[in-house]
Structures are given as structure tokens and as C-alpha cells.
């Protein structure tokens, strides 16, 4: 991806400048809007035998589809805040907390699958125009300074769980950003009522955004259910179950209010195995259990698949459905965050395999900072 951006757009990092700590600032040789709209772009490069082909005019069209939806019922959600946050300037604590109620959505073609196989595309192929990328922050129990309010809001006994800074009374920060639990701490007491309420609110706002953008098939994934679910605190199983309950409850109760959405697909690849290679309970199992045990009968059909989101999204787009896939984004609000560090998270993988950097990064697409595109609903 980096070589592609350098060759076709003059991408280069700005020495000594960072968007947020550890994330290097960059710029293109000139804005994409200044390029010849009829110019043909080849990913990964012109000489590749089966490239993904697009024009500058198409990229500009995809950029122009960018819009932000935010939950106006959450105190603190204002356009001025969104404008700062989407530049990576949200403050630790409350402002980072608000980002889980902010949805960024745009057209965003998939360039290659997660196995690094390029998706061949000619200019006459329409399937890339049917794919939208939904970027949204999940709840973070990994224990990081920026997301301190996730810990102090949802964990009732956080003062007994984490090492505290005697100066602030908050969890002590190690290595510049991390919180460490005490070696021997009591069982985590979750504020399940508040957590479940916010999980439902998060589901409603992102499904509402998809519905208003005309998405017919929503491809969801387990947002915040990997390293951010608090496995090191012994609570990840509870978080997965609550997340599954929240989305099932919203679909059951509010599914009929969505006018465009025709199906929900959960892309939940199951990687968890024990030393003997036997499958362990994981997000996939928790979602299957929730929807089957409850005898789900909501108006929107649901498919839970042990498959990755790119495979499913592309297959659905090929069938001529307008489809979205979910990007579990960081609360800093910067698309792709640590993509240049080749970070292992889904967010970085999406930055490296889709056109997301060109359409959802504020340093490339000026529409990201256009407050007229912010819809507080």
C-alpha cells in the first residue's frame, strides 16, 4: 500500500511530525482533486498482471460519499468536537469515550483479500461501487490512557483492579499509555446495565447510518471483542455475551424501523483452539448461542458465518447488493491509525487492503473535515 501511494500519488512522511504519538504525519505531492480525472490508476502497480483498475474520477466520487453520523442524545456530541476528533485531537477520557457513538461511512472498494490476493477489476466492473466501509470505535478494556473512561465507567471496582496513580487517583500509566491490573485483584464487577445500554445505543446508531446510506446487507464483525474485551481481566466471555445480546435485542425490537437493510451477516472467523487443536468457545459460538437460544424471530434475517469480512462483502457485492463492512476503529478518530507500523489489528489490515486511506483519512480526503457532512441524529 505504501509503495502504491508513493508511486501514484507522491506519498511521503513529514519529518518529525505525528498525528498522534507513534503515528507519522504524511502528505501527497498534490491533492487528488488536482489530478487529471481521466487518469487511470492501477493497484498495486501498472505492470501487475491482474490489477485493480480505477480512475481518478472514481476516487473523487468515492471520497465525495464520505459522511459522519453521530448520536445527538449523547452529551458532548457537537460538530466542533467531531471536527477536532477526526484529526486525532480528541482528549483522553470523555472525548475518547464519545467516539463509540460516532459513525464514519463512505464508499470504499476492497482492493485485495486478507490473504493478499489482489482483486482483479476492470473499469466496467460495478461491484466496487456497492461497498461501503463503516468506521466506528468499540469499547476498550485493554487498559489504555486514552480510553480511561471505558474502564472507570463500566468497571465498578476499577480502583481495586488497577494500580493507581496516587497523584490523580486514576489508573497509573505505564510505558506512556497502558494501565496494569494488580497482580492479585478481586473479580471485575461490571456495570452491566450501563454497559448493555451503551452497546445497544452503539448498534442502533451504526445500523441507522447504514440504513440511511441505502445499505441492503450489513456485514458486522465482533467489534471490541478481541484484545479489547478484557481477557487479561477475566471478563472477555461476559463482554462477548453482552455484545451478542445487545445486537440481537436491537434487531428483535427495532428491526422493523430500518427501511433499506434486508439482511445482517456476522463475519466471525473462529481461530480459538487449545493445544490439542480442539476448537474453543469464541465470539462465533457466543453469537450462535445467543441467536439460537433466544429463538430469534426479528424481521431482518441473520447469517452468522465462520468467515472473514472481505470474503463475505465481496461475494455479496458480486450479487449486486449494496453492502457495508465494519471497521473497528481507534478512538483517536484517525483512519488506519498504525497502518505504517503494519499493526496486527483489523483496522490496520483494512487500511492495507482497501481504498480506505484515500477516502477516510483526513490528510488525504478533505471531505473528512467538512462539518456540513456531519449529521447529528
Predicted local confidence at residue 43, as pLDDT: 98
Grid cell of 344 as nine digits: 496486527
- pLDDT for 318-356, tens place per residue? 999 999 999 999 999 999 999 998 766 899 999 999 999
Report how far residue 357's alpha carbon sits from residue 365's, in angstroms, rounded to the nearest whole number. Answer: 8
- Of 228, 226, 224, 217, the C-alpha closest to 325 is 217
Question: Region 206-210: what's the mean pLDDT?
Answer: 98
What is the H or E stretch that residue 93 is in?
none
Question: Region 271-287: what's the mean pLDDT?
Answer: 75
* Whether residue 277 has pLDDT greater than 80: no
Q: Give domain limits for the chain.
A: 2-155+190-376
Share above pLDDT 90 across residues of the chain, in percent, rounded to a whole number: 90
* Helices assigned H by DSSP within the chain: 2-9, 56-64, 79-85, 94-98, 148-154, 158-161, 192-212, 236-254, 283-293, 309-318, 346-353, 356-360
Provide the 3-class DSSP secondary structure of residue 145.
helix
Q: What are the CA-CA distances from residue 104 to residues 146, 208, 348 (Å)? A: 20, 12, 16
- pLDDT for 68-82, tens place per residue? 999 999 999 999 999
Report how far residue 145's alpha carbon sits from residue 235's, in angstroms, rounded to the nearest whole number. Answer: 19
* Whether residue 228 has pLDDT greater than 90: no
Report how far residue 139's alpha carbon sits from residue 3's, in angstroms, rounded to the nearest whole number. Answer: 33
Predicted local confidence at residue 225, as pLDDT: 87
Predicted local confidence at residue 280, as pLDDT: 63
| Residue 219's pLDDT band (cuts 50, 70, 90) | very high
Query: pLDDT averaged over the chain?
Result: 95
Amino acid at each position: 500500500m505504501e509503495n502504491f501511494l508513493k508511486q501514484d500519488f507522491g506519498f511521503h512522511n513529514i519529518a518529525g511530525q505525528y498525528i498522534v504519538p507513534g503515528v507519522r504525519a504524511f502528505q501527497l505531492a498534490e491533492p487528488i482533486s488536482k489530478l487529471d480525472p481521466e487518469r487511470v490508476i492501477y493497484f498495486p502497480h501498472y505492470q501487475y498482471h491482474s490489477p485493480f483498475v480505477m480512475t481518478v474520477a472514481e476516487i473523487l466520487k468515492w471520497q465525495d460519499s464520505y459522511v459522519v453520523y453521530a448520536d445527538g442524545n449523547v452529551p458532548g456530541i457537537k460538530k466542533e468536537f467531531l471536527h477536532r476528533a477526526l484529526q486525532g485531537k480528541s482528549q483522553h477520557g470523555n472525548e475518547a469515550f464519545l467516539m463509540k457513538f460516532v459513525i464514519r461511512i463512505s464508499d470504499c472498494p476492497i482492493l485485495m483479500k486478507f490473504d493478499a490476493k489482489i482483486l482483479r477489476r476492470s473499469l466496467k466492473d460495478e461491484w466496487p461501487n456497492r461497498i461501503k466501509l463503516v468506521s466506528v470505535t468499540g469499547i476498550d478494556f485493554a487498559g489504555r490512557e486514552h480510553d480511561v473512561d471505558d474502564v472507570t465507567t463500566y468497571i465498578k471496582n476499577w480502583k481495586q483492579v488497577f494500580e493507581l496513580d496516587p497523584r490523580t487517583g486514576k489508573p497509573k500509566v505505564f510505558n506512556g499509555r497502558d494501565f496494569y491490573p494488580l497482580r492479585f485483584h478481586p473479580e471485575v464487577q461490571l456495570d452491566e446495565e450501563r454497559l448493555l445500554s451503551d452497546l445497544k445505543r452503539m448498534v442502533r446508531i451504526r445500523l441507522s447510518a447504514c440504513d440511511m446510506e441505502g445499505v441492503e446487507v450489513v456485514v458486522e464483525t465482533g467489534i471490541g471483542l478481541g484484545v479489547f474485551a478484557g481477557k487479561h481481566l477475566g471478563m472477555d466471555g461476559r463482554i462477548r455475551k453482552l455484545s451478542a445480546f445487545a445486537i440481537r435485542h436491537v434487531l428483535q425490537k427495532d428491526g422493523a424501523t430500518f427501511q433499506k437493510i434486508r439482511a445482517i451477516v456476522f463475519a466471525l472467523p473462529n481461530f480459538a483452539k487449545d493445544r490439542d487443536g480442539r476448537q474453543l468457545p469464541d465470539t462465533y459460538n457466543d453469537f450462535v448461542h445467543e441467536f439460537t437460544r433466544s429463538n430469534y424471530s426479528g424481521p431482518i434475517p441473520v447469517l452468522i458465518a465462520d468467515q472473514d469480512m472481505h470474503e463475505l462483502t465481496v461475494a455479496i457485492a458480486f450479487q449486486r447488493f449494496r453492502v457495508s463492512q465494519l471497521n473497528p476503529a481507534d478512538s483517536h478518530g484517525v483512519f488506519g491509525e498504525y497502518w505504517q507500523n503494519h499493526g496486527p489489528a483489523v483496522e490496520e489490515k483494512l487500511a492495507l487492503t482497501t481504498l480506505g486511506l484515500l477516502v477516510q483519512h483526513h490528510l488525504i480526503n478533505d471531505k473528512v473535515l467538512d462539518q456540513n457532512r456531519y449529521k447529528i441524529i
